[in-house]
Amino acid sequence: MADTMEGVLIQKDDNDNLKDLIIIGRSGNGLTSVEQSIHEDNEYRVIDSKGIGDAGQDITLLERRQHYFNLRDQLRQIHAILFIMKYGIRFTQQEKDAVSVVRSTFGENVFKAKVVIVFSYGDLFRQDMTEATDLDECFMTWCRDQIGDIKTVFEEADYRCVLFDNKTRDIDRKTKQWLQLKSNIQKVEHVNFTIDERLSQNQAPTNVVAVMGERTLLSKLIDNIKELVHIIIVVTNFYVHLL
């Protein structure tokens, strides 16, 4: 059974004992394959917020955050949040914005308490690491070797990272990667987690406002530079014409 609420699909089951998993990720990051694996296990239900962070516009971030406020009222308990990323692409501003929205909605400690990071397109990782004798160990080494903002996210999530081959048809591989994902979910599903009381107010989060402010200043700076370049070109053409 499925209900639609303001653009968010909520998969429901008549069994009230099902555990709630929220899936967050950009369209094209392999969300559907992860969902299908979860649906094959009768222990969980999926709460899917489609394509968070897809658009680069700031208003979209605020709108998606509103979806989370609506979702939060529907949850009995957050057992785990699956943050889906695609192997082979860099940690873009859109992913950073998605991280900011999740933190501002569920609290600054949410990655530490409830998030499991899933890297889809594991087949690409397999192709890059053809000489690896132990792919799982190689993947964890790769995760720990990352630097910058993505390293901070990994550390907050205590390196609960899972490689997911969303294209494989190998039954054994599908079973193994689901068991790995489930094992990481079980690490956080019983962790007591309380959403910050201040987040009950539907206000723009400070860090998202900061992002908006930074982009506004950058846009103004770019516009000023363009205007200055235009003036220089006009003046130059004027003097060239005089000569």
Mean pLDDT of 128-145: 88
Instruction: Kindly state the tokens that stand for 132.
Output: 């690896």
pLDDT in tens, 217-239: 565 567 678 778 878 877 777 66
pLDDT in tens, 88-118: 888 888 788 888 878 877 788 889 999 999 9
| Distance separating the N- and C-terminal Cα atoms of the chain | 78
Bigger pLDDT: 191 or 73? 191
Report the percentage of the chain scoring pLDDT > 70.
66
Query: How far, rounded to the nearest angstrom, does the alpha carbon of residue 147 sit from its chain's CA centroid?
Result: 18
Mean pLDDT of 10-37: 74
Bigger pLDDT: 65 or 165? 165
Reference 184, options 136, 219, 226, 238; nearest CA is 136
Q: At what angle do helices 93-106 and 206-242 cross, to 10 degrees?
A: 150
Phi then psi for 13, rounded to 5 degrees? -135, 150
Highest mean pLDDT among 6-15, 60-69, 186-195: 186-195
Query: Within a 13 Å sphere around the CA of 194, how many CA atoms are in the beta-carbon half?
Result: 3
Q: List b or e across 139-172, with b for residues whose CB sees 16 or more CB atoms inside 10 angstroms.
A: beebbeeeeeebeebbebbeebbbbbbbeeeeee
Alpha carbon distances (Å) from 207 to 100, 107, 143, 197, 204: 7, 12, 26, 17, 9
Q: How far apart are CA 103 and CA 100, in angstroms?
A: 5
Q: Model-level pTM? A: 0.70
Angle at 26 between CA 25 and CA 27, to 5 degrees: 120
Reference 86, options 44, 134, 30; nearest CA is 30
- List the single range of 33-37, 64-68, 145-149, 152-156 with lowest mean pLDDT: 64-68
pLDDT of residue 51: 47
The SS3 of residue 151 is helix
Q: How far apart are CA 61 and CA 100, in angstroms?
A: 9
